[in-house]
Amino acid sequence: MAIKVGVVGVGVHGLHHVKILSALPEIEFKGIYDIRPVLTGTEQVICTQFSSLKKLLDEVDCVTVAVPTSKHHETVLECLQRDKSVLVEKPIAASTAEADDMIREADKRGLVLAVGHLERFNSAYRSMQNALIKPAFIESHRISVFNPRGTDVAVVLDLMIHDIDIVLDMVKRPVASVHASGVSVVTDEADIANARIEFEGGCVANLTASRISQRKMRKVRLFQRNAYISMDFLTGETEVFSLHSDSKPEAAPGAIPQLMNGISYQKHPSDGMNALALEITDFVHSVRDGVKPRVSGIEGKRALELASLIMESMNVSMQTLE
């Protein structure tokens, strides 16, 4: 029997969920709920708009939640308390205490709580899943043009949290120290932020995020013994430069190997797969098979914890500038 799925919150992100769910053959898309009576864009998809969250939850096995972050806690708890598994957009909640409530409720009821850290499903990152990743230094730049959407929160929670999650997934070590700075330019929150994160074991990550630039950039570069890896999350491509022995290295599937001056070069082109479709499919499979999702509630909380430490350090530096 097909899993019955609904969408709660149909703004910019939620509309993407609706379009993907309405096209997935392995699920039964039951419809949507939003506090607004008229939803721009949903006319492209034939679906039921329920008049209350309760009525939607009566018809589904699970939901994806794309309401504003400030509403994650109450909305997700209501869904979980009705025994419905949830995929909630990032960040998991507005505070770690709220995240703990959500995780406990899901665990108590044996439900899936997944968090929408979309870049885990990006082709650039997936191409490295079977590679030996032991970074000594990581540098990320996530830069966007100004968009009023999302400016109710600092750029750390709006943009940088994507790279925070990726870094935590790669390093897998406790954080030793955090030093951050930020500047408010066009909003009351930080619009540009930089964070230096030192991990136990010596790895250092330098993360930069901006939402007032003239062009987009979403790159993560990592340096480790004998290798440099550049992941472009805009194009979905990854380049790997590494020292090699006299024998020609074996190319990974889909990679393009070249040799130059004692260095092995491999380019992993984008596989063209939709990251959000993969994320939602992973969630549905987790609900159906009773297995851990790619990004669990605990992992979502870890990203939020580090984001909170960054913002605390950043706020100190911003107060000093005043």
Give the CATH number of the domain where residue 290 resides.
3.40.50.720
Mean pLDDT (the chain) is 90
pLDDT confidence of residue 186: 81
Looking at the domain assignment, is residue 322 inside a domain?
no
Residues 19 and 110 in one domain: yes
Query: Is the confidence at residue 32, as pLDDT, over 90?
Result: yes
pLDDT band, residue 44 (cuts 50/70/90): low
CA distance 2 to 223: 44
pLDDT for 52-91, tens place per residue?
Answer: 999 999 999 999 999 999 999 999 999 999 999 999 999 9
**Lowest mean pLDDT across 142-156, 168-182, 249-263, 298-312:** 249-263
Looking at the domain assignment, is residue 189 inside a domain?
yes
Looking at the domain assignment, is residue 300 inside a domain?
no
**Mean pLDDT value across residues 199-224:** 95
Looking at the domain assignment, is residue 303 inside a domain?
no
**Lowest mean pLDDT across 36-45, 247-256, 284-293, 296-305:** 247-256
Residues 256 and 133 in one domain: yes
Query: What residues contact residue 117 under an 8 Å CB cut-off, 6+ apart?
Result: 90, 161, 162, 165, 166, 295, 299, 300, 303
pLDDT confidence of residue 249: 43
Residues 132 and 253 in one domain: yes
Question: Residue 316 CB: number of other CB atoms within 10 A?
Answer: 12
Looking at the domain assignment, is residue 135 inside a domain?
yes
pLDDT confidence of residue 181: 94
Residues 144 and 63 in one domain: no
In the chain, % of residues over pLDDT 90: 74
H-helix segments, the chain: 12-21, 53-57, 72-81, 96-109, 123-126, 155, 161-171, 275-289, 297-321
Instruction: Identify the CA nearest to 48 among candidates 56, 36, 40.
Output: 56
Residues 67 and 180 in one domain: no
- Cα 18 to its chain centre, rounded Å, is 18
Instruction: Identify the CA nearest to 130 among candidates 228, 270, 264, 253.
Output: 253
Residues 131 and 203 in one domain: yes
Q: Omega of the bond prior to 25 within 30 degrees of 0, cis?
A: no
Residues 7 and 142 in one domain: no
In the chain, % of residues over pLDDT 70: 88
Specify whether the CB–CB gap between 72 and 94 falls below 8 A. yes
Residues 39 and 126 in one domain: no
- pTM for the whole thing? 0.90
- Under DSSP, the state recorded for 47 is -
Looking at the domain assignment, is residue 302 inside a domain?
no
Residues 106 and 146 in one domain: no
Task: Specify the CATH number for the domain of residue 259.
Answer: 3.30.360.10
Tokens at residue 60, please? Answer: 């589904």
pLDDT for 136-191, tens place per residue?
Answer: 999 999 999 877 665 567 799 989 999 999 999 999 999 999 999 999 888 878 88
Residues 247 and 282 in one domain: no
pLDDT band, residue 36 (cuts 50/70/90): confident
CA distance 89 to 153: 15
Looking at the domain assignment, is residue 147 inside a domain?
yes
Give residue 31's domain range: 3-118+275-295
Residues 212 and 71 in one domain: no
Residues 11 and 81 in one domain: yes
What is the number of structural domains in the chain?
Answer: 2
Looking at the domain assignment, is residue 321 inside a domain?
no
